[in-house]
Structure 1
């Protein structure tokens, strides 16, 4: 399971709700769970929105995935890795895994399988885009990054 998704799901699961105010979400990460400083909680919120794990509905945040399917490992604490930027293909793999409820390894297998079926005529990122779209993922945020990367190759 994607670490960012676990972090995002936790405040909603702990409070048994489907939406939280921005303040309550950040407060839960910073003070209730004692996982991070308030400024880092704001960064997690922004990253979750841009990754489409959270959506803003008025002044409330709501997860875009089924939090009831998330199992929180006992003693879970986020690593500092959630603040590092993912590559476009890593974003797509996470989205596919979240949408299908399967692991990231299964998403990678499916992407590789599609690329092989296409005779390796497409870049792996394009295969990932195709699989993500087939699974109903919103690829808008990663499409331009992949488009730029593939076209910049010589």
Structure 2
């Protein structure tokens, strides 16, 4: 693609973004979770607030998960962020995300996962499953059988939510 085509594409994208409808107004009570977080950990001169994520979900298999987790902002800024790289790297592969989705949909064994389209050879699937297991996104309660740990279902959905374009 030459420079003129790239500039034209960028201009079209800018026009689309500028024509997008405005975000809906925020109504009383829309930020009930945020309001509760701020009541517990206010942002003041002495305190930096916090981050909270939570969810109550039913996955396609019918399993139900409820979970919440939060950290004070101070703790997050004191952490070594590079330690999260392996976890993000494990999720940064389309095949691995496909495998996680299939496992949430009810496929549990390596043989079932190998029958999926576009996930590669059995050896490649095992490589991806090892990466996800090593990063804590999967565990294997029995040989050749995989599950997403209950405490990772909502965080996985939170990460996927955070990766969506902001509208």
Give the TM-score, by structure 2 length.
Answer: 0.32
Q: Which has the larger radius of gyration?
A: 2
Looking at both structures, which has the greater relative contact order when contacts are Cα pairs under 8 Å and sequence separation is at least 6? 1
Indicate the structure with greater helix content: 1
Indicate the structure with greater strand content: 2
Give the TM-score, by structure 1 length.
Answer: 0.35
